Structure 1
Amino acid sequence: MFGDDHFVPLVLTNILGIAGIVVWNLQGSRRPKGRLIVQILFFAGMSLVLYLADIAPHQPDNVYTHGFGALISRSAKILWWTHLAWTAIGFFHIYIMLTRRPQEAHLIQDMTVGVVYLAVALSVVGFVFGVPIGTLVATSGVVAIILGLALQNTLGDVFSGIALTLGRAYAIGDWIQLSDGTEGRVTETNWRSTNLLTGTYNLIVLPNSVLARQSVANLSRPDETHQMALTVRFAATRRPRAVEEAMLSVLQASTLIVKEPPPTAALKMIDAIAIEVELLFRIDSLVSHIPARNEIIDLVYKQCETSNLSLAMPPASLVFIPPGQAPIRRCPSIV
């Protein structure tokens, strides 16, 4: 056996395979490119040794069928198939990093890794140990049906998560709003659920199947800016144009809103009591909507004093007042 042409190459393949595992672990998970280089080098070395010795990893060994030789042959082929899987996964991880969507493709990575390992496992069983794969697949199919019925809800979450990831309706860091009113920033997406961090800093865990059944509004696309509206009622004692110009001055004086596109002041309605104005402006992100709203309200109050404007009472609180006595309020009426 020791003088056989296959023995030395098989031993060398085992040595390269084990050395590759050791060096691969020494690289650490923070150096994916270094790991990929190690995987390629050792896999290429193992493939070259087997090729020169005319040993096919995808065919059962007819030279060593039992004893120590069979152990060396099978371990060499198992190591070769393992390094093949790691090399393929390494290339996929580098591709995900180059496309700069590592968080978005988290589920796709897990699914691809699972498919690669499953394919390699079946290859080892069929090519190394000579077990008929067809019988094994048929048996595993029955088991899969039983498990599918038992894990129906969980599998629904899994496939819903895959569908949401492939659809790219949102990504990690996006602020989304659901049809039931739930909104928050996506902090994590896994096989079973999606985590949302709300504006009140509460963490909501939504099963993917529940999320897939609702309409999702992505408030972070095409960008993070968000439009807000603030309605103010003024006593009808000044011209509407003067009220409009005063509100435009308020919007221009604000430091917390976006100036492009420019904010606007829309005159909504007028009656004998009040002029209603809607202030339309954009903010950088939903996180700043409270400070921006507070600033606008404060500037409106200040502008009332500067421009001699009077804030009108809300429509629901109007009472009959004799002619010549217009209702005057110094507190903003915000809708």
Structure 2
Amino acid sequence: MSDDHLSLPLVLINLLGVAGIVVWHLQGRDRPTARLIVQILFFTGMTAVLGFSGILPHRVDETHLKGIVAFLATSARVLWWTHLAWAAIGFVRIYIVLERRPREARLLQDLIVAVVYLGVALSIMGFVFDAPIGTLVATSGVVAIIFGLALQNTLGDVFSGIALTLGRPFVIGDWIQLSDGTEGRVVENNWRSTYLLTAAHNVVVLPNSALAKVGLTNLSRPDETHQITLTVRIAATHMPHFVEDVMRAALRGCEQIVKEPPPVVALKAIDAVAIEAELQFRVAGPANRTPARNEVIDLVHRHCKESGLSLAMPPQSYLYAIPAPSEEPRSRLSGTF
């Protein structure tokens, strides 16, 4: 093909490519469907011009082109591959949606977009600039190994973040407790780390790789209600059923606890000194534990005082009578000193 024969189609392809970029940006991010339609229209127009002109975007056969025409041919192919990538990404952003799982959908979209960009970049280098793809892939593999060894901790955090996102052991807003005792509400979760807001109003930053290795308890599932147990020791001079009735009355008067399911009074043990009762009740959430426990203790004390119940001493304060050692008769020594 002559340079004059290709000049007009190449100019037209470049104009369509630049115009498509401008219109795509003018659409704005809040109109993804309109952006995709514009992208498809301009990409279709560029492909039609390439087809009618006999130009193949995946083959470099115009090596005889010189000057401005060679530049137009290169830029036309680059724009065509770029619009192809954007059209594919537009489909991914709109149609790959996981219902009620926006974080997983976003993660899957980002992974596919990264693959699309990588494939298009390699295609441009190989089909437009005639670079040796095999050598590039081999070189990039060596570079990837070097970077992987240098950034293994960061990559561990990233892949652990992917695993946590797909496994969904928690979401933003959940209250979790780690096996080492760390406890707080999840306020942020990204590719590298998770942020917890503790009850002391401090932010704890946990690398995802460390978080994936420790056991955690999600206190917000299946709901935010949280069970608390409180042990009370009553003097054994009172009847057990009377002790149970008084404890139930104390729990019924508490406004800080959840009424459904109802609180439970479990008589756990009895000895010559005390009746041990365990009060089991739920609160609306982990943040309500302290005020609820305080109210229950106050009401238990009031009801015990009004009902004549006496609190028993803790087991570690028991006094045991230790027999005094027997005195052996003194041996009489013969003689005087």
Task: State the TM-score bracket (shorter-chain normalisation).
Answer: 0.7 to 0.9
Uncovered stretches (5+) of structure 2, i.e. residues with no partner: 322-337
1:110 deviates by: 4.0
Tell me which residue corresponds to 2:32.
35
SS at match of 1:241: helix
How many residue pairs get aligned? The number is: 317
The structure with more radius of gyration: 2
1:12 and 1:298 mapped to 2: Cα distance? 84
Tell me which residue corresponds to 2:246.
246
> Cα gap change, 1:240/1:79 in structure 2, threshold over 3 Å: closer, same or farther?
farther
Alignment of structure 1 residues 82-231 onto 2, 5 Å: 82-94=82-94, 99-103=99-103, 107-231=107-231
> Cα gap change, 1:286/1:19 in structure 2, threshold over 3 Å: closer, same or farther?
farther
> Cα gap change, 1:144/1:263 in structure 2, threshold over 3 Å: closer, same or farther?
same
2:237 and 2:24 mapped to 1: Cα distance? 79
SS at match of 1:257: coil
2:291 and 2:188 mapped to 1: Cα distance? 27
Uncovered stretches (5+) of structure 1, i.e. residues with no partner: 322-335
Range moving further from structure 2, 18-27 or 195-204: 18-27
Alignment of structure 1 residues 16-55 onto 2, 5 Å: 16-29=16-29, 31=30, 34-51=31-48, 53-54=50-51
Q: What TM-score, normalized to structure 1?
A: 0.82
Range moving further from structure 2, 196-205 or 297-306: 297-306
1:254 deviates by: 2.5
Percent identity reads 59
1:297 and 1:67 mapped to 2: Cα distance? 89
> Cα gap change, 1:278/1:115 in structure 2, threshold over 3 Å: closer, same or farther?
same
SS at match of 1:69: helix
> Cα gap change, 1:138/1:254 in structure 2, threshold over 3 Å: closer, same or farther?
same
Deviation track 1:214-266 (CA, whole Å, cap 9, x = no partner) reads 22222222222222111112222322112222222232332332222222111
1:275 deviates by: 1.4
2:266 and 2:171 mapped to 1: Cα distance? 35
1:88 and 1:245 mapped to 2: Cα distance? 70
1:268 deviates by: 0.8
SS at match of 2:102: coil
Paired residues of 2:39 and 2:86 also in contact (CA < 8 A): no
1:57 and 1:241 mapped to 2: Cα distance? 91
1:51 deviates by: 2.7
SS at match of 2:89: helix
Q: CA RMSD of the aligned region, Å?
A: 2.9
> Cα gap change, 1:43/1:257 in structure 2, threshold over 3 Å: closer, same or farther?
same
> Cα gap change, 1:262/1:90 in structure 2, threshold over 3 Å: closer, same or farther?
farther
